[in-house]
Amino acid sequence: MPHFLLFYEGAADYLARRGEFRAEHLHRAWAAQARGELVLGGAYADPVDGALLIFQGKDARVAEQFAESDPYVRHGLVARWWVRPWTTVVGDLAETPARPGGS
């Protein structure tokens, strides 16, 4: 199944305001994970100025719909977000496994 990267660029007050919306954000994230859409997600460390979420689905809409409904985005904690397709070649979940020697 194709993978997509959802990038969040945090607003200047992201950390100061995150607590107010964190429970709803996490609820939605864990629900997306339970549906098999969200593979991994989390904030960048040192500094905490954004986040990366890895999705899988038939197309980029799975990640875009998550962002559009995320309280962090809706309430301005995310200054900018974007989705990129990700060609996965190594790992148990890789969509197009590529091994040495072509096997």
Provide the residue ranges of all domains of the chain, joining segments of one domain with +: 3-102
CB proximity list for 82: less than 8 A, separation 6 or greater: 6, 7
For residue 42, the cross-strand partners are 52
Percent of the chain with pLDDT over 70: 99
Q: How confident is the model at residue 103 (pLDDT cuts 50, 70, 90)?
A: low
If one looks up domain 3-102 in CATH, what number appears? 3.30.70.1060
Q: How many CB atoms are closer than 10 A to CB 49? A: 16
| Assigned token pair, 51 | 């986040």
What pTM value is reported for the model?
0.94
Q: What is the mean pLDDT of residues 70-96?
A: 97
Q: What is the pLDDT of residue 66?
A: 98
| Assigned token pair, 24 | 């709803």
Residue found under tokens 């429970």: 23
Q: How confident is the model at residue 20 (pLDDT cuts 50, 70, 90)?
A: very high
The average confidence (pLDDT) of the chain is 96
